[in-house]
Amino acid sequence: SHVNGQGQLLSSSCLYFSLEGKRSGQITKILEAEAIRLVDIAVQRNKPIVLEVLDTTLSKSAGRYRNRKQNRKMSLFAYKKMQDSIHSRAAKMGVAVFEVNPAFTSQIGKMKYMKQMHISIHQAASYVIGRRSMNLKERVPKGLQAYTERKGGEHHWKQWSVLTKAFSVLRSHLFYHVSGQSYPLFNKEICNYGLTQAERDSLQKYVPKVWLEERDS
């Protein structure tokens, strides 16, 4: 995501590649090539690069063709190799690299920017990462504020932690279909969109039951 000095999104895109079935040497070459592409973009735009701090929790889910332990080891290897390749290439080209805490970047992106900016959850997360490097705070949208209450002196990430738990079972793409402009409107839009039974059961804790009943009728 390309962010200006005010924290506004100028553009967003993806670099596509696949590591599936590749050996470690092949993975290294692929990621080094992608690092060159990324740093070249930064050079052209005269901008620094912002990355997440290496987070080992990113590798806890099992892959399609590997067991959990093997997938975790490979994901950690690839993620660290990507970080190292970017740092190395950036140093060579004179591009500054900053790292930020990755906490709730995907969740904030999903709930706040994905629909608004018409981008994927991954691009939305990258936008949040860019904004975080500028020390910009992410206020909870009005439509979600009723789900959480911020206490005096409490870090604003606490609100996003509560929201993450509240909507943990909702499929990410549902947030493309809700405006989030107000609490009742947000709930009605969520409930009127084809929810799975698991999603409905979870939302019973957070929305008036009558709206779910209206959806059934």
Mean pLDDT per block of 10 residues along the chain (217 residues) reads 96 92 91 97 97 65 46 74 95 97 93 91 96 93 74 76 84 76 61 75 63 48
Q: What is the pLDDT of residue 71?
A: 60
Q: What is the pLDDT of residue 210?
A: 42
Q: What is the pLDDT of residue 181?
A: 57
- The dihedrals phi and psi of 136, each to the nearest 5 degrees, come to -85, 135
Q: Is 80 left (phi over 0), alpha (psi -120 to 50) or beta?
A: alpha
Task: Tell me the pLDDT tens digit for each residue of 28-71.
Answer: 999 999 999 999 999 999 999 999 987 655 444 444 334 555 56
Structural contact between residues 183 and 146, judged by C-beta atoms closer than 8 angstroms:
yes
| Long-range Cβ contact pairs of 141-148 (< 8 A, separation 24 or more) | 141/111, 141/112, 141/180, 142/180, 142/181, 142/182, 142/183, 143/178, 143/179, 143/180, 143/181, 143/182, 143/183, 143/185, 143/186, 144/111, 144/180, 144/183, 144/186, 145/183, 146/183, 147/183, 147/206
Instruction: Quick: pLDDT tens for 125-145.
Output: 999 999 999 999 998 887 777
The answer to whether the CB of 79 falls within 8 A of the CB of 58 is: yes
What pLDDT, on a 0 to 100 scale, did the predictor assign at position 60? 45
Beta carbons of 141 and 180 less than 8 angstroms apart:
yes
Q: How far apart are CA 80 and CA 120, in angstroms?
A: 23
